[in-house]
Amino acid sequence: MTSRASTIHSPQLNTILMVESFIKEHSGEYKKRALWENLPRKVMYQTYSVIISYLQDSGKIAADAEGKICWIYNPGLVQRYINSIEKKIQ
């Protein structure tokens, strides 16, 4: 039997996408808790924390010096960088 405190709520894809979209639209406006409080739909804080950890670990978001959450993922920029390195190697 698992205790309630150790239960981890795995986020659903639509919830992850909603949080991603909200962060993109409001990049740099909110700190972690304020961002959670302003999401368009309610999400359990534990689930929200799992999503934030995933987005940080995957390099999509970062916190600035004030602790505000910023969207940093830019696949186009990454691809241009990779292409420039490949040209230098050839």
Q: pLDDT for 2-50, tens place per residue?
A: 555 556 668 999 999 999 999 999 999 999 999 999 999 999 999 999 9
Instruction: Examine residue 61 and state whether it is found in any structural domain, yes or no.
Output: yes
Instruction: Examine residue 1 and state whether it is found in any structural domain, yes or no.
Output: no
Q: What are phi and psi of 71, to 5 degrees?
A: -80, 120
pLDDT at 82: 82
Instruction: Examine residue 6 and state whether it is found in any structural domain, yes or no.
Output: no
User: Which amino acid is it at 41?
Assistant: R
pLDDT at 8: 67
pLDDT at 1: 47
Instruction: Examine residue 83 and state whether it is found in any structural domain, yes or no.
Output: yes
Query: From CA 80, how far away is CA 20, in angstroms rounded?
Result: 23
1/68: higher pLDDT: 68
The burial class, CB within 10 Å (0-12 / 13-18 / 19+), for 80 is exposed
Q: How many domains does the chain have?
A: 1
> What CATH number is associated with residue 28?
1.10.10
Instruction: Examine residue 7 and state whether it is found in any structural domain, yes or no.
Output: no
Structural domain containing residue 81: 12-89
Model confidence pTM above 0.75:
yes
Instruction: Examine residue 79 and state whether it is found in any structural domain, yes or no.
Output: yes
Q: Tell me the angle at which helices 13-25 and 45-57 cross, rounded to the nearest 10 degrees.
A: 70
